[in-house]
Structure formats: C-alpha cells, structure tokens
Structure 1
Amino acid sequence: MESMMDRSGTIRRRRRRKWPWFLFTLAIICGALLGTYAYIVYMPNSKHVQPDFSGNPKPVFYNGMQLEQPAIGHNESLKLSFEIVKERIDPALIYEKASESVIITTQDKVMRLRTSQLTGMVNEKPFTLKFPLEKADNGVYLPIDPLKDLYGIELREAAETGAVFLFKEGEKIRWERAITYPGKPERTVPMRRDPSIKSPIYADLKQGEEVMVWKDQDEWLQVQRKDGHMGYVRKDHLETSREEIIPKQAPQPEFVPKQPVAGKINMTWEQVFNKNPDTSKIPPMPGLDVVSPTWFQLEDGEGNIKNNADPAYVKWAHNNGYQVWALFSNGFEPKRTTEALATYDKRMKMIKQLLSFAQMYSLQGINIDFENVNLKDKQNLVQFVREMTPLLHEQGLIVSIDVTALSSSESWSMFYDRKALVEVVDYLVLMAYDEHWASSPKAGSVASLPWVEKSVADLLNQEKIPPQKLILGIPFYTRVWTEELQKDGKTKVSARSVYMDMPQRVIKEMKLTPVFSPETGQNYVEYKEDGNLKRIWIEDETSVRARIALVRKYDLAGVASWTRGYENPEAWKWIQSVLDAP
C-alpha cells in the first residue's frame, strides 16, 4: 500500500473513505420517507364524524337526493310540502291563495283540500280526511292519505331519525349488503363521507346490513342506510342483496271516449245567435255524425253562462242519428275571461252549469271555444279544462276544445297550451282558417292548402299532438276582397265574408272563368267592379276534397266544418266520399 512521509519523517497512511456509512444513512431516511408516504396514501382514515341532514329537521329523500323542504308530522299525521308534491309528483297541482285551497286534478278526479278543514271535495262530493291541509310558516302541507290513493306513491319513515323516503309505483330499488368476515363478528364496514379511504367515517355498517345503492363512482358506491344517512362504501365491501320493485296500484278504469262512428268523425258547428234554426228546413247531411250548436256563452266575470239551448233541436239531431256536442264560448271577451277563470269557485260554477245543461238537454259532449284570451290566463285555461273534464267524463260526455294554428300572436294562438290540453280532453279541433282574416291588410285565402297542411304538421310534429286526437276544422265560407286605389297611390283592402255558393253566382252572372292557383290549392277568380279590383279564393269541391284528403293523409280523428248553412248542399257528399274511401 502506498504511504506518505510527513516532515518529521513519520510514515502516514491515507484515510479510509466513509461512503458506505453515508449510503446506509440515506437508505434509512428514504425508507422512513417511503413509509410515511405509504402511510399517508394507503392507510385508511379511522376518524369518525357524525352525519347530519344539513339542519333539516325531517328530511325527505327521493332517488337518493335530499329535497329542500322538510316533512312534518309522524306516521299517520305525516305531511309533505306543496312544493315537493308539485315538483316530484304532480306538476299540475295548484295552490289557490285567495281560498287557501290545494286543487288536485287527475284523469278522473278533481280534489279540493282547504286549510284546517277535515272535509275535502272529490268531484264536488264531500269526503272526510284524517288530517287537514295545513298552513305552516314555511308553506302549505298536504296529508299523505289522499296522495297515496291518487298517485300510488309509497312513503317510508325512519323510526330512528324521522327521515322520509318517497317512492313511486313501479320504481326499482337496488339493495346491497355489507360483506361478512367469518370468525370476526365484531368487524364492520366503513361508510365514508366521500369516495376516498382518507375521508372520515360516517357510520360503521354491521356485517350483512342492507343499504340502498344510488350511484356508481369508480371503485365506490354511493349508498343510503335505512335511517336516511348517506355515504360511500368500497364496492369490494358490498355484495348484491336484492332488487325491490315498488308495487303498482290496481289499474283504474279509464274513460274511453265514445267514437260517433267506426271511422272518421264528421262534425259541423251550428251558429246560433238569438234564435235556433228551423230544423224542418235543414236539408239532409249524409255522413254527418256530430252537430255542435253555439248555445252556451260566458255572460260575466262571475262565471254565469247564457243559455240558448233548444230541446227541439236536440230531438231533431237525435232522430237523425247526430250526437250533440254543444259549444261553450267565452264570447271572445278577454277581461271577462280573466275574471271567470281566476278562482276555483268561479271555474266550478261554470262547470256545474254545463253539467246541468248537459243533463237537461241530453247532450253527448261539450265543445270549448275560448278565443281572444290574455296570455297571462294560459295556465288558468288549462286548469279550467283539467277541472272540467273529469266531471264531464263522469257523466259520459265527450270533451273537445278548439285551438288555432301556431303563431306568434299572443291573444290568437300563444295562450293555448296545446300539449297540456291534449293530455286532458278527448279531442283538439284545429280551426284551420282565417289565414287572412276579415281586417287583414293584405288580400288572400281564408285557408290556403299549404298553410292548412303546415298548421296540421306543426301540431303533430312540434306540439306532439296525437293524430287520433286531432280534428281538422275547415271553412264553409270565403271572402270577397276589394282592393281600392287611393289618391295617395296606396291600396285600401277590405273584405266581406260570404257563403260557399256566392262566388259561383258571381262567376255565372259575370261569365268569369276561374283558374286553379297552385300556390293556394284553390280555384281563384278576380274581376273589376266600380273601378275596384275584386278577388276571391273560392271554396268549392276542389278545396273541400283537398282538405279532407289531409285528414286521410295524416290519419286525423276527423273533420269539423264552420258553419252549417254556409255550405253547398253537395259538400256533405264530397266529405263523405273522401272520409269513407277505402
């Protein structure tokens, strides 16, 4: 070994290197760090925290979600908030502040509950409640008994915490249970606050304890105990237990509207002003099934109805095999309509009168014709129809409502909630006319064929109206338009409505030759009179047959015509031949 000599002549060896000690120390430090990291990352958190319901004194859960409003009461006295019932069970539920009433409408029932009263009303018949509608500081609460009967819901109440579980008939609940550890009965399965082993523990599940599963999240399941508390459990700590299906109530018999004929409905309105027609002068109307005389009209904002019905007309109709669906109009008076639709009592007053009239005159149906309605009354109109229909159905009556084509006009079209209405009534009747109305600034067809077809298609496609519930309304009238040139060079447009045959007389007298207009699908004629241009889009066999062909093309429920007495007598044969064609 090499050596060195210092100045004193003493031989000195080189110092030994200390690298092995340094590496050993470093290894110890790294091991400690790795152990600490492993502990931090992989060692489960054993801290327990008490779960709560975010301050909710009596929480309600639906599909694993805690709802905002609490329940009140206990067992039989349990009640749910109006907001929960409306949001989760029945969006059509309404609360009428003026009378402190909750109104529930189903396909065959109208139920009214009033605060602090143990007597409710179903289809205007009294029934006794165990517990009343209750008005509390945070809202209105409904007793559970009528809710269970009407909607087939199931409510479960946790004895330990008071938590309430809401289930609907037919829904499925997935149950899993905590795994078992043979020979270790004291061992538990942690249910954590979050899907992480570092999250604190909400509860220790006993072996075999069942929990409801609401959500999969990677290696974790979101679960809920029977006491209402929720958390996360690792998938490998649970095993499949069972699937529960909430039982359905026995199906209630549904009202099936009486189809007037085996095929398509052929209906016509009978316009009645102050005097009913002399039925002896009404010619045969082959193929006709239903007459709808305009007998009933809203008289004031209190819900009183003016009655122009005629028993002799009903007898004539029945003798000729026609059903009578009397028309009920709002008189096209928006202010009066707003007032009459505003409260349950006024709406029910109208309904009761209609029921009385239907019984008095042996009617088979009511046709609702509300027009020129304020947009703000859109939902009140739906509510009126929802309350009316079960009561009319109970009396065996068919309910139909007239609607216009889709447009941006608030008082002509937008106030109709067609999707909501068609769920309730038996038929929507599309008044597919007045494309160009009486005071239109531009001359044009009352109902051009492309416009009519688009109106039908819009309701079927955009509004999802079932074709079997849609009746096409067609005009038996047209308009004679006058275009008068003014001194300022502008053209003044005016119009008058005329019967179907009036243009034929003009054509014959003036020896005119109509031409077919492909743009409108109608025959058209124009002529000069007193220096002014006269224009007529003609209603005749061509236009009538084309419209009825749309009923066949879209498989609609049938046709309705406005109005009897305006038609060419042959129109009934035109309609019948197309409706009955193989």
Structure 2
Amino acid sequence: MAEGERTGHRNAGRNRKRQGGRRRLLPFLVLLCLLLLSGLCLGGYLYIKKYMPTKARADLGEYFDVAGNNVQVYLNEEKQRTSKSYLVVGRFQENHVYLPYEFVREKLNRRFYWQESSAVFLYTLPAETVATGEGDLLPDGSHAFFQEGKNLYLNVDWVKEYTDLRYQQNTDGEYKRIFLDNDWGAYAGATVQKKEAVRVQGGVKSPVLTELMPGTEVRILEQLEKWTKVSTPDGFQGYLRSSRLGEAREVKPESSFHAADYTRRSLPEGQKVVLGFQQVMNAAANENLDALTENTPGMNVIAPTWFVLSSSEGDFISYASADYVARAHEKGYQVWATVNNFDLGRLDEGVLLRDLSLRGQLIGGLVQNALENDIDGLNIDFELIPAELGQDYVQFMRELSVACRNAGLILSVDCYVPFSYNSHYDLEELGVFCDYVIIMCYDEHYAGSEEAARWHLSLTRTEVSARPRSWFRRSGSSLPFRSIPGCGSPRRMEA
C-alpha cells in the first residue's frame, strides 16, 4: 500500500474518533445548558416571588368589619369600639350616615339628651332647650334621627350642627365607613409623587387595598423606615413605600364652627365670692341674719336654705323672705337661695328628673319665687343622686340655667370632691351651664356628733388638680369655719 494511502486512512480514523468524542460530549453540554437555564429561571422566579410587588387585591370582606347598610366608624383615625369592646356600627339610609346615640353622647357631644317619656331629643342652648321628634326633618329632607328597636341613631349632619366636627364618608360601595375628626390639632400630610399601591401591611407582597395617582394628598399615620402608613381620600388606612411620597409637611385644619356662647353671670369684676351658708329650718330662722353675720368680715354672698323639696314630683317648701333679702342687701350681701333634696327625707328623684313636665314645673316655681322676693340667685344642693340619674340631673341643671339666665339670676351648684364614683355629677358640663360650681371640701357628720366638720387639704388639692385652668374663675371650695385657725364660728365660707 502506498504511503499516501496509509496516511489517509490514519487521518480518517482520527476524524472518526474526534467526531465520536464530540457526539459523546454534546449531551453533556445540552444538559449543562439546561441546568444553567433552569437555575436562571428558578433564580428569576425566586427573585420575583420575593421582591416584585404583588398586584393581588385585598379581601375587603376581611379588611372591613361591616357590609351593606352598616357603617364602620372611625374617630380621629381610630376604629371605634364601645367600653365593652363591641364595634361601633352606624347605619346608612337616606344617603346619610346615622351614628349610635351612645357613641355620640360619649365621644362627640353629651348635650344630646333623650327624653324617653316624650320620645324627643332635647338640646339645651343658652336661651332655650330645643326639642326634636323622630319625624322632624333637616333642611335637606333627611330625618334628624331614627329609632331601631331600643337603639337610637343620629344623623351625622344634625350632630355636626351642634358640634365642632368634620367628617369624610365613603359610602358608595359595599363596605361603608365614616371618618370623624374632632381633633383640630396639626397633623402630618404628604403628596403622592408616583402611582402607588396602598397595602394592608408594609411589604410588596401584602395585598393591595387601593391605588393612588400622583398628586393625591394623604394623611400620615405612622412613619417606618421604608414604609409609611397613611389614610387615603377614598377611605383606606394602609401602607405605601415612603419613596413614593413627597416631603412630609404640617397640615392645620381650620374650623368654621361657631360654638354657642353660654354667657355666665358673676359678681362685679374683681370680686371673689365669699359665701356663707345659713341653715334655715323654719321662717323664724330668718330673724337670725343680723346675729349670724355680726363677725363675718369680707363676706359678700349669703345662701339661706330656703327651698326644700317635699315630694318626688318636685313640690317644695319655701322659707323665702323679701324682708330678709332687703336687710341682706343693706349689708352688701347678695342672696343665693339654696335648694336641697334632703332636709325632708329621701325622695325618688327619678320621678322628677326623668319627667320633662315635672322638671319644668319645679324650675318655673323656683324662678318665680326668686323674682317675687328679689333674690339674686339660686344655689342647688342635690345630694346622693345615683349614677343612673346622672344624665337626668345634668339635664335638669341645663334647663334651670336657661331659666336663670333669662331671668337675670345667678346659678350656683354644690358638688362633691370629684372621684370616679361620683363622676356622673359631670363637673365639666355643670361648669359650662352654671355660673359657679362649689366643691364641698370637708367631711360631714350627723347632727349631734361630737366630731366637728373638718377641712381636708388633700381633698382641696384633689379638686384643684382635676380641673382645667379656665375653670377656676367660676369655681369655689367650701370650707368649715371651725377647722380654720382663728374662726370659731360653725358657719361655712366659700373662698
């Protein structure tokens, strides 16, 4: 065989070996490529799963607690619950939101008073008490309130008429809610810079509540490192990426509400009330005025116990004397006749305080008697009012304040040192309607007790620390004379 032929055979053999090696390597290369591609796909999937924002929508049925014509209620951006942790739920009808009465009274405006015996709401203004029945309409034709079983619901626009309140309601869809605000302080706001989803929680995998377009104004509720909790104009509270918001700024809401002016009468400017009580158990006791006031320098008001309730229907005994008042005026004293509910024994105050007509009769009789005897004012001393009659007692005082204001009489009220067990006397509300609130800062003892009444400094401090600064101009503290060094008289003085 020629040398050339042998060389050709050798080259062909080598080529066949190379081709066979390549054929054997190719499957491994394909497998490797597939593995690399699978790894890339898996990595991309894991990246997307972890980092790419989800577009899944939140289940609003789980996010909200109500549906249909029920309305979820927020106050100052907080979901509202009762003292027993039940959800506060409003109603939607006549294209208006109606709020539960108990919620309105406890959180918004406690001057709405339900007169159950007459099935009307009463609201006391400076010069009158307005009565509103269930059939009464607002200017827009909606009802002021409605009753559903034992539950009462007040039209939010009717509440707003008497209350410094703003609100945003979102009631177009299945899940209705209303955002109420009675806090007029500044809050943080911001503008959305880019289209952004608001999510249930802070995280791109949290489901979407709503989407906001650039330029949308939001209220900032909580600022986290990368996420911000906001309240949106379409009625959601959720989280969005902080990078999608412009710079936070202070927003100061402005109120156009004009509060009623409960103008109070008082002594001439610069005069503090220095008041002494005189116990009067019969008409003859009025003759003791000169003797009892012989050593009372500085006193400018005397309060004889002239009116005593004698029945649960509001009848009263009067020891008032125009001659006494004239003599007191000659001495430079004003006369604030005291009305009490205990000198003739225990009464059922519920009969009186819960009846609109009986309250009116008592108020009319007291004011008429005061005017006939030239009395300067009335001093109300109702003791041991039970907690369940607290609202009724305060309403009586509101209505009495209107009658006294219209008649030119000063109205003062005697109250216990405030503690949790007597909070139903509602000193704050009495301070709005009464000209003076007198806190009885002493211990009392039964008639004939060897231990005298004592002034307690701790009680005085308790009373003072519990009141706002503006309250002191029309409040006083009752102290027993015999407990103050240098004062041997058993009479009491207001300072």
Relative to the length of structure 2, the TM-score reads 0.74
The CA distance in 2 between the partners of 1:160 and 1:314, in whole Å, is 66
1:351 is matched with 363
- Amino acid in the other structure paired with 1:259: L
- After superposition, the C-alpha distances for 1:374-401 in whole angstroms (9 at most, x for unaligned) are 4554554344334433443344432222
> Cα offset for 1:241?
8.4
> Cα offset for 1:142?
2.1
Between the two proteins, what is the percent identity of the paired residues? Answer: 24
1:340 is matched with 352
> Cα offset for 1:197?
0.9
- Amino acid in the other structure paired with 2:238: G
2:216 aligned with 1:234: no
2:319 is matched with 308
The CA distance in 1 between the partners of 2:328 and 2:60, in whole Å, is 72
Task: Tell me, yes or no, if the aligned pair for 1:279 and 1:313 is still in contact at 8 Å.
Answer: no
The CA distance in 2 between the partners of 1:209 and 1:262, in whole Å, is 54
- Corresponding residue to 2:50 among 29, 32, 41: 41
Task: Tell me, yes or no, if the aligned pair for 1:268 and 1:290 is still in contact at 8 Å.
Answer: yes
- Corresponding residue to 1:426 among 413, 423, 435: 435
Task: Tell me, yes or no, if the aligned pair for 1:171 and 1:246 is still in contact at 8 Å.
Answer: no
Aligned with 2:397: secondary structure?
helix
Task: Tell me, yes or no, if the aligned pair for 1:72 and 1:80 is still in contact at 8 Å.
Answer: no
Task: Tell me, yes or no, if the aligned pair for 2:415 and 2:440 is still in contact at 8 Å.
Answer: yes
CA separation of 1:95 and 1:215: change in aligned 2, threshold 3 A: farther
- Amino acid in the other structure paired with 1:447: A
> Cα offset for 1:206?
2.7
- Amino acid in the other structure paired with 2:332: G
The CA distance in 2 between the partners of 1:214 and 1:64, in whole Å, is 8
- After superposition, the C-alpha distances for 1:152-180 in whole angstroms (9 at most, x for unaligned) are 32344457447544333735465433324
> Cα offset for 1:44?
1.3
2:273 aligned with 1:265: yes
The CA distance in 2 between the partners of 1:454 and 1:71, in whole Å, is 48
Gaps of 5+ in 2: 1-24, 81-87
Aligned with 1:72: secondary structure?
strand
> Cα offset for 1:55?
1.1
Aligned residues: 450
> Cα offset for 1:402?
2.3
Task: Tell me, yes or no, if the aligned pair for 1:170 and 1:248 is still in contact at 8 Å.
Answer: no
Task: Tell me, yes or no, if the aligned pair for 1:178 and 1:208 is still in contact at 8 Å.
Answer: yes
Task: Tell me, yes or no, if the aligned pair for 2:441 and 2:459 is still in contact at 8 Å.
Answer: yes
1:221 is matched with 228
2:218 aligned with 1:206: no
1:63 is matched with 76
1:471 is matched with 476
> Cα offset for 1:366?
1.1
Gaps of 5+ in 1: 1-17, 120-126, 181-187, 478-519, 523-540, 545-560, 564-574
The CA distance in 2 between the partners of 1:420 and 1:435, in whole Å, is 26
2:401 is matched with 389
1:318 is matched with 329
2:464 is matched with 460
The CA distance in 2 between the partners of 1:135 and 1:107, in whole Å, is 28
User: How much is the aligned-residue C-alpha RMSD, in angstroms?
Assistant: 4.3
2:491 is matched with 562
> Cα offset for 1:325?
0.8
The CA distance in 2 between the partners of 1:138 and 1:194, in whole Å, is 39
1:166 is matched with 180
CA separation of 1:78 and 1:379: change in aligned 2, threshold 3 A: closer
Aligned with 1:459: secondary structure?
helix
- Amino acid in the other structure paired with 1:265: V
CA separation of 1:472 and 1:114: change in aligned 2, threshold 3 A: same
Aligned with 1:324: secondary structure?
strand
- Amino acid in the other structure paired with 1:460: V
1:135 is matched with 147
CA separation of 1:81 and 1:472: change in aligned 2, threshold 3 A: closer
- Amino acid in the other structure paired with 2:379: N
2:395 aligned with 1:399: no
Q: Which has the higher strand share?
A: 1
The CA distance in 2 between the partners of 1:360 and 1:436, in whole Å, is 35
> Cα offset for 1:370?
1.9
2:156 aligned with 1:149: no
Task: Tell me, yes or no, if the aligned pair for 1:169 and 1:247 is still in contact at 8 Å.
Answer: no
